[in-house]
Amino acid sequence: MIERLISEIKKKNAPIVAGLDPMLKFVPEYIQKKAFSEFGETLEGAGEAIWQFNKAIVDAINDLIPAVKPQIAMYEQFGVPGVIAFKKTVDYCRKKGLLVIGDIKRGDIGSTSEAYAIGHLGKTPVGLTRISAFDEDFATVNPYLGSDGVNPFVKVCEEEDKGIFVLVKTSNRSSGEFQDRLLSDADNRPLYEIVGEKVNEWGKELIHEGYSDVGAVVGATYPEVGKALRKIMPSSYILVPGYGAQGGSGKDLKHFFNEDGLGAIVNSSRGIIAAYTQEKYAKYGENNFEEAARRAVIDMKEDINANI
Amino acid sequence: MIERLISEIKKKNAPIVAGLDPMLKFVPEYIQKKAFSEFGETLEGAGEAIWQFNKAIVDAINDLIPAVKPQIAMYEQFGVPGVIAFKKTVDYCRKKGLLVIGDIKRGDIGSTSEAYAIGHLGKTPVGLTRISAFDEDFATVNPYLGSDGVNPFVKVCEEEDKGIFVLVKTSNRSSGEFQDRLLSDADNRPLYEIVGEKVNEWGKELIHEGYSDVGAVVGATYPEVGKALRKIMPSSYILVPGYGAQGGSGKDLKHFFNEDGLGAIVNSSRGIIAAYTQEKYAKYGENNFEEAARRAVIDMKEDINANI
């Protein structure tokens, strides 16, 4: 799967992923009103509003980017109707030729992790059939439970030609509380480096065109950590959150890439989908939120390509 | 919320939670056939089969236990229809007077973790209303992202009178890969102890009747670790997976409890719901799977109460 992502990144000259995290406060009022007039102020109404919002964004930017990353929490908060909107979004994006990175951060053990893996990336056995349930292309995975939690995903990646990004060093302020701890049983190196080494190990049999189907998440907000992890995981694609709204900028990103100009894909969520709420793009107004999103993608692409 | 759990544990004299992890292979063939005859071998058919299975189990055991723990992965693998079955199960269990621990192991950052927290434990704002989406009583939370990931859950616990169990030391074989690492910046103590100290800190404002709404997950398979963590987190309820199928037994559990006989609740999943597949309960046969489950709960209760 990683070779498909690389090919799309090259084709669109954009190592960029748009985070589809449709909080209701980003959805223009006229879209919300329309949805609520049909379904009421209900979870169904909210699901309809975020789905219509996503659809317009995707229509406006799909030719510019290789992939989207829907954050499932933003859908799950609306219960079953939210999960329906998530599934519609996944299907629509794939139909539009986009790769879909499900930002699900799942992680459990044994048969439970297997259930997540087949549910999101593989096919679930039902009677004599096997059925794709959510059918994303990639998923993010939490490593806290160790190999027992990650290996079922690796297995599905191999069988179904899919990919994962394992959380190594996250972009948030408190990510260091556990991830940065220095390990006396590993020459005083930080935990995230040991997780990075494991990412290498988990992905070593799944390398295509120089990169593995098993990638890593490393936040743009920690460029020095990105530099260190880039060396530790030379064959892993790094999914980089934290650009834009969280404070990372283009010049912070250089070290996340390899010398071949590949190896990283940078996410922006509200920086794109809520661009119209920023001063810089305010002239578009909420009636042209999707054009603001398109402009934000073009600007982000320039910023990042100038710094690789 | 923890005082409600304690009260139910005392009332039923059972520090036990039944894990509702309905893998299709545990669902008797006649239930699957009936569901498939109505919905076909589809995700809807699978959702109906696991829901009917759960319902029968819950009807058979609800008077014996204080709480259930549906593992959401086992539902999510069936896509939207699986999530519908999850929600039906949550609602049905609560209607039957059971507390519901959503085993969701979510964990993200900031507004994303907040979305999970309100979606599973709180109320989601939609227009001028606030709506319960999944409405569990407790949820399990993954701590890898640090306080940024956990605090939004703590806030919802406080506002909505709910509870969480944070993963500290999981029951699986490879849990030590990261959780057991020794930290040179913490006197060579293992990571799980530091996470345990954080659990104390996160929960310190939410203590009712001696225990906090912020509990911890510690696997039955590591009794010595349970002993150490029991001392580190005196006010945290410990949710203990790994009993039965994963190898933990009653005598391993003594040290997870405090001297007041409280402080731990032990989960068994397949040991209860798939009891009829074990030699010990084979006489019940798949036609009486729910009676086998009931007998398994009674036996588990005896085993654990004899060892507290």
**Spatial distance between the Cα atoms of B305 and B308, rounded to a whole number of angstroms:** 5
Confidence tier at A159 by pLDDT (50, 70, 90): very high
Among residues of chain A, what percentage have pLDDT more than 70? 99
Is 0.90 surpassed by the pTM of this model? yes
The reply to whether residue B181 touches residue A182, judged by beta carbons under 8 angstroms, is no
**Spatial distance between the Cα atoms of B299 and B303, rounded to a whole number of angstroms:** 6
pLDDT, position B250:
76
- Kindly list the residues from chain A whose CB atom is less than 8 angstroms away from the CB atom of residue B79: 87, 119, 124, 131, 133-134
Indicate if ipTM > 0.85.
yes
Residues 6 or more apart whose Cβ sits within 8 Å of residue A143: A107, A149, A150, A166, A167, A168, A195, A198, B144, B178
Region B100-115 average pLDDT = 96
CB pairs under 8 A between A and B: 228
Which DSSP letter does residue A210 get? T
pLDDT, position A91:
98
Nearest residue to A245 via CA among A221, A215, A216, A210: A221
pLDDT, position A248:
65
- Kindly list the residues from chain B whose CB atom is less than 8 angstroms away from the CB atom of residue A198: 177
- Cβ distance A245 to A271 under 8 Å? yes
SS (H, E, C) chain B: CHHHHHHHHHHHCCCEEEEECCCHHHCCHHHHHHHHHHHCCCHHHHHHHHHHHHHHHHHHHCCCCCEEEEECHHHHCCHHHHHHHHHHHHHHHHHCCCEEEEEEEECCCHHHHHHHHHHHCCEEEECCEEEECCCCCEEEECCCCCHHHHHHHHHHHHHHCCEEEEEEECCCHHHHHHHCCEEHHHCCEEHHHHHHHHHHHHHCCCEECCEEEEEEEECCCCHHHHHHHHHHCCCEEEEECCEHHHCECHHHCHHHCCCCCCCEEEEECHHHHCHHHCHHHHHHCHHHHHHHHHHHHHHHHHHHHCCC
Region B73-88 average pLDDT = 98
The reply to whether residue A174 touches residue B145, judged by beta carbons under 8 angstroms, is yes
Write out pLDDT tens, residues A185-242: 899 999 999 999 999 999 999 999 999 999 999 999 999 999 999 999 999 999 999 8
List the single residue in B79, B82, B124 with the smallest CB-CB distance to A78.
B124
Hey, which residues 100-119 in chain B have their CB within 8 Å of chain A? 105-113, 115-116, 118-119
Q: Which domains does chain A have, with CATH numbers?
A: 2-305 (3.20.20.70)
| CA distance, residue B146 to nearest chain A CA (Å) | 5
Query: Is A254 considered catalytic here?
Result: no
The reply to whether residue A79 touches residue B119, judged by beta carbons under 8 angstroms, is yes
pLDDT, position A263:
97
pLDDT, position A250:
76
Residue A182, classed as helix, strand or coil, is strand
Nearest CA in chain A to B88: A80
Asked if B287 is an interface residue toward chain A (Cβ–Cβ < 8 A), one would say no
pLDDT, position A245:
65
Hey, which residues 135-164 in chain B have their CB within 8 Å of chain A? 142-149
Confidence tier at A249 by pLDDT (50, 70, 90): confident
- Kindly list the residues from chain A whose CB atom is less than 8 angstroms away from the CB atom of residue B131: 42-43, 79
Q: Which two tokens stand for residue A213?
A: 């189907």
Confidence tier at B246 by pLDDT (50, 70, 90): low
Active site amino acids of B: 105
Hey, which residues 42-61 in chain B have their CB within 8 Å of chain A? 42-43, 45-46
- DSSP string for A216-273: EEE-TT-HHHHHHHHHH-TTEEEEE--BSTTSB-GGG-GGGS-TTS-SEEEEESHHHH
pLDDT, position B88:
98
Among residues of chain B, what percentage have pLDDT more than 90? 94
Tell me whether strands A211-218 and A207-208 are parallel, antiparallel or unpaired: antiparallel
Asked if A21 is an interface residue toward chain B (Cβ–Cβ < 8 A), one would say yes
Write out pLDDT tens, residues B198-209: 999 999 999 999
Among residues of chain A, what percentage have pLDDT more than 90? 94
Region A1-13 average pLDDT = 97
Sign of CA dihedral A21, A27, A32, A34: negative
Region B167-179 average pLDDT = 95
pLDDT, position A247:
67
- pLDDT at B256 > cutoff 80: yes
- pLDDT at B248 > cutoff 80: no
Write out pLDDT tens, residues A52-108: 999 999 999 999 999 999 999 999 999 999 999 999 999 999 999 999 999 999 999
Region A107-116 average pLDDT = 95
| CA distance, residue B240 to nearest chain A CA (Å) | 14
pLDDT, position B308:
83
